[in-house]
């Protein structure tokens, strides 16, 4: 196999750490030190004149802070440099309009994380079918769940290696996110059929060929009942707390239990999304989705004092349902997974895809008789069927119409570009 048939692929893999109480305490200290370093950098940035806000001056300020504040020495020097790079990248993202301006990181609302820039420091070894071991600077040798083959030991080289990692703490404990770089064979163009996808709330994913993918409840009945009891308990304890009084440890523990159940539901939802998108990417060569502006769809209907909104509670419930389905994350998964298997993903305009008849193409008011039934009001058509499949067929039809509008020579160029693009993108 020649070098032209190979390509570099970079991806991330997250694994759960099994830390001893002593190692967990060290990791917590590094997480708080990294957050403090960020806040010190932010204060330094706001204090310095514009002409002195340089990377060299910030690096000198970090080194001086590590000498003056003993608490910051628990953070490795490379991790402190990573905080500096991340902070400057945050400002760059703000200047280019990709994100909001960096801000102060509070203790309770910030996710604790520590970066490990050098992958060679990890020294990863697989010791068991289910467990691997890695070296965390200033923490020690720790175990992590081995759920994916990683470049470790004799399988690690210049092209197949781990370039770095990041420690992240959530409600379920500490995790490690590896940054992996591999050299793999370029996939052949996927010869599977084209498919349109309509994403909804009642039916999460409906395909144009009549297939649907649905998930059950993220929490079972016992877990739901326990979540309700914990929320009621938290409300009662919060009600009896005096204004200005600090939150008690009991209330903090109740909040942690609620967050644990919600994190469990989110983890199950993420697992379902991964499995579903993998099946779709393996089956179909071209996947077409709607170009949805989700941030506008989940805006509140509360309105203003002068012009109050209507059906605010109903719209709030719909917004929660849309956010729980995470349509944007589904599209992101389909984008890189279709490219991995040699396919491609395309987006088409979303307006009227749910109200247009996929048989005759007419958009008539009142065609969507219910959430699940579509009946065309055109006298010459009268087609009826599943509303979600009808929308998915319209999505696929819009993609094919866009190809039909391109001249024959241009379509050939588009087809060649579609074959090269997945390899170049990775």
Task: Indicate if 26 and 131 belong to the same structural domain.
Answer: no
| Residues 8 and 134 occupy one common structural domain | yes
Domain end, chosen from 59, 84, 114, is at: 114
Note whether residue 244 is domain-resident. Answer: no
pLDDT digits (tens, 9 = 90+) for 209-241: 888 898 888 999 999 999 999 999 999 888 887
**Which structure tokens are listed for 41?**
């950098």
Q: What's the mean pLDDT in 286-305? A: 78
Residue 360 falls inside a structural domain: yes
Which residues touch 16 (CB under 8 Å, ≥6 apart)? 144, 145, 172, 173, 174, 175
Domain annotation covers residue 225: no
Q: Are residues 285 and 344 in the same domain?
A: yes
DSSP 298: T
Closest to 289 in 3D by CA, of 402, 207, 401: 207
Q: Which of 57, 92, 114 is the last residue of a domain?
A: 114
Examine the domain organization and report whether 165 and 44 are in the same domain: no
Q: Say yes or no: 172 and 202 in one domain.
A: no
Q: Does 396 share its domain with 339?
A: yes
* Extended beta strands in 264-379, E state: 286-290, 344-348, 373-375
- Give strand ranges (E) for 113-255: 113-116, 125-126, 131-136, 140-145, 161-170, 173-185, 194-199, 205-207, 212-213
Residue 166 and residue 112: Cα distance in Å, rounded? 10
Give dist(CA 90, CA 84) in Å, integer: 10
**Is the pTM value of this prediction over 0.75?**
yes
C-alpha pair distances (Å), 106 with each of 39, 80, 103, 265: 9, 18, 9, 26
Residue 369 has pLDDT above 70, yes or no: no
Average pLDDT across the chain, whole number: 84
347 & 377 share domain = yes
Tokens 């990417």, located at residue = 281
- The count of other CB atoms within 10 Å of the CB of residue 101 is 10
On whether the CB atoms of residues 322 and 298 are closer than 8 A, the answer is yes
The answer to whether the CB of 253 falls within 8 A of the CB of 230 is no
Among the listed residues 240, 270, 401, the one whose alpha carbon sits nearest the alpha carbon of residue 332: 270
Q: Is the pLDDT of residue 405 over 80?
A: no
Residue 324 lies inside a defined structural domain of this protein: yes
Answer with the residue of higher pLDDT: 43 or 382. Answer: 43
Tell me the H-state helices in 249-366.
249-283, 294-297, 312-325, 327-340
Tell me what pLDDT residue 305 has.
62
The answer to whether residue 302 is domain-embedded is yes
Residues 99 and 167 in one domain: no
Q: Is residue 275 part of a domain?
A: yes
406 pLDDT more than 60: no
The answer to whether residue 246 is domain-embedded is: no
Are 309 and 358 in a shared domain?
yes
Question: Do 109 and 154 belong together in one domain?
Answer: no
- pLDDT tens readout for residues 134-185: 999 999 999 999 988 888 655 556 678 889 999 999 888 899 999 998 888 8
Same domain flag for 147 and 293? no
pLDDT at residue 307, rounded to an integer: 64
Looking at the structure, tell me whether residues 201 and 166 fall in a common domain: no
The stretch 365-369 carries a mean pLDDT of 72
Contact criterion met (CB below 8 Å) for 103 and 42: yes
Instruction: Give the range of the structural domain holding residue 274, as residue numbers without chain letter.
Output: 194-213+270-425
In a domain, 263, yes or no: no
Q: Which of 114, 133, 157 is the last residue of a domain?
A: 114
Domains held by the chain: number: 3
* Coil/strand/helix, residue 326: coil
Kindly give the pairing relationship between strand 173-185 and strand 161-170.
Answer: antiparallel
């Amino acid at each position: 196999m020649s070098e032209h048939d190979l390509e570099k692929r970079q991806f991330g893999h997250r694994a759960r750490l099994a830390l001893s109480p002593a190692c967990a305490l060290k990791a917590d200290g590094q997480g708080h030190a990294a957050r403090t370093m960020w806040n010190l950098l932010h204060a330094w940035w706001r204090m310095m004149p514009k002409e002195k806000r340089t990377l060299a001056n910030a690096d000198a300020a970090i080194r001086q802070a590590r000498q003056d504040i003993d608490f910051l020495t628990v953070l490795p020097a490379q991790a402190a440099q990573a905080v500096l790079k991340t902070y400057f990248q945050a400002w760059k993202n703000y200047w280019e309009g990709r994100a909001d301006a960096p801000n102060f990181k509070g203790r309770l609302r910030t996710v604790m994380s520590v970066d490990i820039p050098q992958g060679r420091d990890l020294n990863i070894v697989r010791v068991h079918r289910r467990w691997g071991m890695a070296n965390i600077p200033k923490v020690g040798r720790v175990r992590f769940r081995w759920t994916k083959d990683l470049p470790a030991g004799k399988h690690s080289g210049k092209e197949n290696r781990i370039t770095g990692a990041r420690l992240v703490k959530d409600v379920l404990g500490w995790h490690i996110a590896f940054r992996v770089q591999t050299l793999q064979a370029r996939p052949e163009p996927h010869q599977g059929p084209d498919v349109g996808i309509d994403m909804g709330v009642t039916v999460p994913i409906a395909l144009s060929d009549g297939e649907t993918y649905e998930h059950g409840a993220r929490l079972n009945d016992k877990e739901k009942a326990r979540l309700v009891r914990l929320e009621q308990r938290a409300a009662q304890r919060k009600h009896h707390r005096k204004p200005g009084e600090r939150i008690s440890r009991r209330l903090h523990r109740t909040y942690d239990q609620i967050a644990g159940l919600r994190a469990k539901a989110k983890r199950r939802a993420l697992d379902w999304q991964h499995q579903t998108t993998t099946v779709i990417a393996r089956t179909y060569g071209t996947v077409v989705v709607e170009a949805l502006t989700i941030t506008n769809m989940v805006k509140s209907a509360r309105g203003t004092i002068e012009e109050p909104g209507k059906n605010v509670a109903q719209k709030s419930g719909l917004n929660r349902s849309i956010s729980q389905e995470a349509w944007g994350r589904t599209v992101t998964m389909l984008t890189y997974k279709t490219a991995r298997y040699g396919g491609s993903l395309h987006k088409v305009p979303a307006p009227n895809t749910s109200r247009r008849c996929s048989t005759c193409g007419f958009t008539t008011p009142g065609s969507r008789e219910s959430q699940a039934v579509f009946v065309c009001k055109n006298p010459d058509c009268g087609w009826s069927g599943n509303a979600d499949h009808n929308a998915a067929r319209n999505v696929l039809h819009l993609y094919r119409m866009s190809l039909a509008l391109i001249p024959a020579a241009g379509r050939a160029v588009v087809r060649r570009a579609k074959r090269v693009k997945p390899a170049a993108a990775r």
